[in-house]
Amino acid sequence: MPNLLVAHPSLGANNLKDIIALAKQKPGDIIYGSSGLGTTTHLAGELVNVMAGVKLTHVPYPGSAQSLTDAITGRIPLLFVPAAPAMQYVEKGELKAIAITQAQRSSVAPNVPTMSEAGLPGYDIGLWFALVAPAGTPKEAIDKIAKAASEAMAAPEMKAALLAAGIEPVLDSNPVNFAKYIDTEIKKGADVAKAAGLAK
């Protein structure tokens, strides 16, 4: 599920480079909202701090709906939020879409650049959902479930339903690839949390 960085027009920033420049001029003064401590939307902002060498101040919310309301009213100038619910406000001009947080552009917002394209090469963090099984599950069972899940995800009606909800299906049914991906994501999250002082 692609996350999006949006800005309230009052911030006066049209792109990521503008935001980074403002953050460098006013360390700690520019705040960003997220859907809670330790969420991907929180870590997305901390990753900007780490990669750009700036200090955006985090304000956690109990969910994306509340944070989106405060971003629309200008109570907070920046917000990392799932792209699908935010795009209607971007289209109305109430918020500015700055960048998608994942490595690839999103079908939900195809004209919005990625953070990497917008000025932070290599930036990639997002929200994903997965089907997992307990450790020790026999390989034959894992392969059978993976195949069935992949076939289900490839069904046109399933793809359409997921896309309508702002979720982009990934059709790699190889459990080994997915295990590597999980390991990479855990390391990345731990590194960002440590850099942000969230973990020891």
Positions in the chain whose pLDDT score sits under 50 = none
Are residues 57 and 48 in contact, defined by beta-carbon separation less than 8 angstroms? no
* Residue-wise pLDDT tens digits, 113-164: 999 999 999 999 988 888 899 999 999 999 999 889 888 888 999 988 888 8
Domains in the chain (CATH in brackets) are 3-126 (3.40.190.10), 128-200 (no CATH)
Q: Give residue 200's pLDDT.
A: 57
> What gap in Å lies between CA 197 and CA 195, rounded to an integer?
5
Buried b (16+ CB within 10 A) or exposed e, 132-148: eeeeeeeeeeeeebbee
Strand order in the sheet with 3-7: 57-60, 31-34, 78-82, 3-7, 96-100
Q: Give residue 31's pLDDT.
A: 96
Query: What's the Cα-to-Cα distance from 64 to each of 7, 82, 191, rounded to whole Å?
Result: 15, 8, 24
Buried b (16+ CB within 10 A) or exposed e, 56-80: bebbebeebeebbebbbeeebbbbb
Q: From its phi and psi, is residue 36 left (phi > 0), alpha (psi between -120 and 50) or beta?
A: left
